[in-house]
Amino acid sequence: MRILLSGISGQLGGELQQKLAPLGDVVGVDRQQLDLAQPDSIRGAIAELQPNLIINSGAYTAVDKAETEADLAQAINGTAPKILAEAALELGASLIHISTDYVFDGTQNTPYLESNRPNPLGVYGRSKLAGEQGIEQVAAASGQLNYLILRTAWVYGVLGKGNFVKTMLRLGAEREEIRVVADQVGTPTWTGDIASAIAQLIPKFCPQNDPPTAPSGIYHFTNSGVASWYDFAVAIFEEARALDFPLKVQNVIPIATVEYPTPARRPAYSVLSGKKIASVLGSAPSHWRQALRSMLAAYRAASFPN
């Protein structure tokens, strides 16, 4: 199987490139080889590489910056997935696309199901929803596209440029006191577990498995459990201290969202239900705290080798 993987310079793409290697010939591409903002670049790369499976882990992820770069966010997150779907259909290839909890408005107080109506609050969420809808339009029109849309949330990992965990570790090494929002609730999710889940899903939904045990459609995947950003920050520092990370922080102060205004509105509650994907994988994902511990151990080993 030839797998075309976009976004390999990102935190999830890099993890996927490692985890998927046993499944076939993984061709990882970054923006230089496949620019998601340029339709011709997308079509050209796919025509050249002729993959059996396309995994789109590339995205415009600057949530606040998207408010002033709506056209770019829409091109990468909204328009590109439909082009990927059309190219996959033409080749007879399968498609896995990564989406987000930000397609929801956060007004629920129970975990969001795949069937719940999206209502994004900002440009980023709207662009990601447009990408989902583009894929589903291609699938509905053809009746033949084999695809999975995998929504996840609060993603962090060892690889890539930055994330909440790395930011907290940096600030924790510089400051004695850190203020963190406590009234936004979700599930921190480690890229290592997302990549492992995708590796398990591929044999279950690709055409080689007939009939598929993971039918085309939308799936939610996060680690299990619930936390606020404040809870997450406190846990990061507790686990990091146990691993001897250099930390100066003494106090983590919970604050309200209104005390930390940002250009983009964020959902107050974006916990995703994992029941559907657990029934396919046969088990529930690990708790977010356990996953955090695993990530920090790997990051510690990479950052401070003996």
Average pLDDT across the chain, whole number = 94
Token pair 């046969």 in the structure block, residue: 282
pLDDT for residue 160 is more than 90: no
Q: What is the pTM of this model?
A: 0.95
Q: Residue 118: what pLDDT?
A: 98
Token pair 């079509």 in the structure block, residue: 43
Q: Which domains does the chain have, with CATH numbers?
A: 2-161+188-224+270-286 (3.40.50.720)
Per-residue DSSP letter, 280: H
Distance set, CA 213 to CA 52, 115, 139, 207, 229 (Å): 18, 19, 18, 11, 35
Q: Residue 143: what pLDDT?
A: 83
Q: Residue 206: what pLDDT?
A: 75
Q: pLDDT class for 305, splitting at 50, 70, 90?
A: low
pLDDT digits (tens, 9 = 90+) for 64-82: 999 999 999 999 999 999 9
Please confirm, yes or no, whether 102 is among the known catalytic residues.
no
Token pair 């490139």 in the structure block, residue: 17
Q: What percent of the chain is predicted at pLDDT more than 90? A: 88
Q: Residue 304: what pLDDT?
A: 63
Token pair 């291609």 in the structure block, residue: 138
Q: Residue 212: what pLDDT?
A: 66
**Which is catalytic among the residues 102, 124, 219, 269?**
124
pLDDT digits (tens, 9 = 90+) for 249-274: 999 999 999 999 999 999 999 999 99
Q: Give the pLDDT mean for 11-24.
A: 93
pLDDT for residue 120 is more than 90: yes
Residue 218, beta-bridge partner list: 149
pLDDT digits (tens, 9 = 90+) for 205-242: 876 655 666 788 999 999 999 999 999 999 999 999 99
